[in-house]
Amino acid sequence: MTVSGNTLTTSTLPTTTLSAPALPEPTGQSGTDQGSAAASSGPPSDIATWLLGDPSAATEAGAVVVAQPRARLLGQLGQAARESLGRQVVGALQSVIGEDPVELLRAGWARNRALLTAARETAGHAHAEQLVQLAEHQVTFAHEPTVDMLLDEIEILVLAAKVEVIFDVGRVDAVVRSGRLVTVSAGHAKVNGSVSIEDKKIVERTFDLPLELVVELGGGIDLQRALLDLSG
């Protein structure tokens, strides 16, 4: 995981391999077995459900796959089989993007330069603390996995995907005590997330994250550990 300024970026994930469905079109209902993402007054529990839990994501994914010129064979699939294929692709992506958005924002703050400086200066002193004021900033989380598609154990298509979550955060007042981030005072963060396959965006969602939900830090975030990670 690398950090640049106030931007948190994760490294590219390993390739995910799945098998393409057989060409004969399956029978029965399709596109409805995942269920719609339930509306909630709180933040989503994980990115995978928030972005890809709605059946429309699978429909869009299937359409992108069969439109690829490198997989003309898949163009013979009917609508039900296309949606089945889309669900497989979405399922593969969900398996590698299950992170809690609240934890992502905490991780971004744990790598903030101003907070790390305060951690360095207060570490080892039982009652030392500093108030750190952060101006408006962004924390960006990005995955760029690939999905290998196989038909009869033969690779027919490799899909490049991108999952991006951007937190737009207003002013933050943070307290660092003895090398740990212990309290954060702020309002809301606007969170925008999107998933693209082969540069085609299949879903984009937004929600407001009350930052008081993020500041339930317990014993605080150990910023000294982050310092060791960066120095190592």
Half-sphere exposure of 42 (CA within 13 A, CB side): 9
127 within a domain of the structure (yes/no): yes
**Is residue 38 in a domain?**
no
Largest CA distance in the chain: 70
In sequence order, what DSSP letters do the residues of the chain get, joined into one string? -EEETTEEEPPPPPPEEEEPPPSSPPPS--S-SS-PPPP-SS--S-HHHHHH-SHHHHHHHHHHHHT-GGGGGGGG--HHHHHHHHHHHHHHHHTT----HHHHHHHHHHT-HHHHHHHHHHTT-TT-EEEEEE-SEEEEEEE--EEEEEETTEEEEEEEEEEEEEEEE--EEEEEETTEEEEEE--EEEEEEEEEETTEEEEEEEEEEEGGGT---TT-EEHHHHHHHHH-
Q: Is 65 domain-assigned?
A: yes
Residue 100 within any structural domain of the chain? yes
- Asked if residue 39 belongs to a domain, the reply is no
- In this structure, are residues 66 and 85 in contact, taking their beta carbons and an 8 Å threshold? yes
Residue 11's pLDDT is 28
Percentage of the chain lying above the pLDDT 90 cut:
28
How many domains does the structure of the chain reveal? 1
Looking at the domain assignment, is residue 88 inside a domain? yes
Each of the 232 residues of the chain gets a pLDDT tens digit; together they read 222 223 333 223 333 334 333 333 333 333 333 333 333 456 788 899 999 999 999 999 989 988 888 777 677 777 888 888 889 899 999 988 888 888 888 888 888 889 999 999 999 888 899 999 988 889 999 989 998 877 677 777 889 999 999 999 988 888 899 988 888 877 778 999 999 999 999 999 999 987 766 655 556 777 877 666 555 4
Residue 103, domain member (yes or no): yes
Domain-embedded: residue 84: yes
205 beta partners? 193
Its domain, for residue 120, covers: 2-32+44-231
Tokens representing 40?
């909630």
Q: Are 57 and 37 in contact (CB under 8 A)?
A: no
pLDDT tens digits along 21-74: 333 333 333 333 333 333 345 678 889 999 999 999 999 998 998 888 877 767
Q: Distance from CA of residue 16 to its chain's centroid?
A: 16
Asked if 111 and 58 touch (Cβ cutoff 8 Å), the reply is no
